[in-house]
Amino acid sequence: MEQLSMIYLWLKAGHVIFVIFWMAGLFMLPRFFVYHQESETGSAEEVRWIEREARLRKIILTPSLIAVWLFGIAIATTGQWWSGGWLHAKLLFVILLTGYHGWMVSYSKKLASGTRRLSGKALRLLNEVPGLAAAVIVVLAIVKPF
């Protein structure tokens, strides 16, 4: 039983570490988009933003997302949390945040191809989504209100 407790703590530590990485990336990418859109189309600066966005996606965002899900599933299984209503609500918000991640990746690729559909203001507002989702997710995970 002691070994299972230690495994649980290591899984939890891994989960928190990769959540921090994932959230950092989700905060950075829309800010990159603002600067990207403010750069001149076809300029060297735009090329640099395209490269930065791609590296952020490939090195931080996507690997962190995968790790968050793997560690989270392992924690829920090890801790036998699957029947908790709070976990179902948390999963809903994590799924929505994962969808937001996917949309951001898609928008990054559109920007790279020259499509600029959103304003800087809209992108700045979208930058608030991960923070709001994180607040709800943390309350659900820590307080476990139901």
pTM over cut 0.85: yes
Per the annotation, does 121 bind a ligand? no
- The ranges assigned to domains in the chain are 2-143
pLDDT confidence tier of residue 58, bands split at 50, 70 and 90: very high
> What is the tens place of the pLDDT at every residue in 103-132?
999 999 999 999 999 999 999 999 999 999
Per the annotation, does 15 bind a ligand? yes
CB burial class (10 A; 0-12, 13-18, 19+) of residue 26? buried
> d(Cα 114, Cα 95) in Å, to the nearest integer?
29
